């Protein structure tokens, strides 16, 4: 069976629905003729100009331009002087919302992912938003790419359905200086790996974060 990328209609939902339903989907990075893929296990929703944790709080700028564009494109930004972060633009064109991809379970392309980090467990290569970008060779050159195209460098396919009882909700992380109520909104979504549909991992489950 040939899996098609998730369509624009998927990303056109509310940013919260997109963040929730991306859990269990499969992120695909086409690189050097190989597929580097992983199940998405953690996301966060960033809800536009009124959300003071969202970059779009600054309005339409060169940096946030992609978020104002059509849904289903990648918003990739540089932070802390060294890290790249991957987001999926959601909702209608003109609505600057996006979903941060925070963690993956690696599936395909482990050999290529392993370059320079051979001694660690694969799960630890993609258990943070900056780590997964580095592992899948995702950087600013991919900012704005259409995630609904199967012939591009990056897309997302359907994967494992994650029922509600396997989802952990909580506040977004790394936004301690953002005022309430935004700081505490439960807009982080994570698969509870203790009750997950994924194959048992021989090395055990990663630490909760």
Partner DNA sequence: AGCACGATTAACT
Partner DNA sequence: GTTAATCGTGCTC
Minimum distance from residue 100 beta carbon to DNA (Å): 3
Is residue 44 within the footprint of DNA (CB under 7 A)? yes
Q: Which of 18, 28, 53, 156 binds DNA (CB under 7 A)?
A: 53
Alpha helices in 5-152 (DSSP H): 8-11, 15-21, 65-68, 110-113, 129-135
What is the C-alpha separation between 205 and 145, in angstroms, rounded?
32
Interface with DNA includes 5 (CB under 7 A)? no
Q: Are 160 and 198 in contact (CB under 8 A)?
A: yes
Terminal CA-to-CA distance of the chain, rounded, Å? 35
Nearer to DNA, 4 or 91 (CB): 91
CB-nearer residue toward DNA: 2 or 207: 207
Cβ neighbours for 61, distance < 8 A, ≥ 6 positions apart: none
Short-list 44, 19, 20, 42, CA closest to 188? 44
Write the binding mask 67 to 106 for DNA: x where contact by CB under 7 A, - elsewhere.
--------x-xxxxxxx-x-x----------x-x------
Residues in contact with DNA by CB under 7 A are 44, 46, 53-56, 58, 61-64, 75, 77-83, 85, 87, 98, 100, 128-131, 172-175, 177-178
């Amino acid at each position: 069976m040939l899996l098609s990328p998730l369509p624009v209609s998927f990303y056109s939902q509310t940013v919260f629905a997109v963040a929730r339903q991306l859990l269990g989907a499969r992120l695909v990075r086409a690189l050097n003729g190989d597929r580097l893929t992983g199940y998405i296990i953690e996301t966060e929703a960033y809800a536009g100009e009124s959300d003071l944790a969202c970059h779009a709080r600054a309005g339409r700028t060169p940096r946030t331009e992609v978020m104002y564009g059509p849904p289903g494109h990648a918003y990739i930004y540089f932070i802390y002087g060294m890290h790249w972060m991957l987001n999926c633009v959601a909702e209608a064109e003109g609505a600057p919302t996006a979903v941060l991809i925070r963690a993956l379970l690696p599936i395909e392309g482990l050999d290529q992912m392993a370059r320079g980090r051979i001694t660690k467990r694969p799960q630890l290569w993609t258990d943070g938003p900056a780590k997964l970008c580095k592992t899948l060779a995702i950087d600013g050159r991919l900012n704005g790419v259409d995630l609904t195209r199967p012939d591009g460098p990056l897309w997302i396919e359907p994967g494992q359905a994650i029922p509600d009882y396997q989802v952990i909700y909580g506040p977004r992380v790394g936004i301690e200086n953002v005022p309430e109520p935004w700081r505490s909104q439960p807009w982080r979504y994570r698969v509870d790996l203790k009750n997950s549909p994924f194959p048992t991992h021989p090395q055990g489950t990663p630490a909760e974060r």
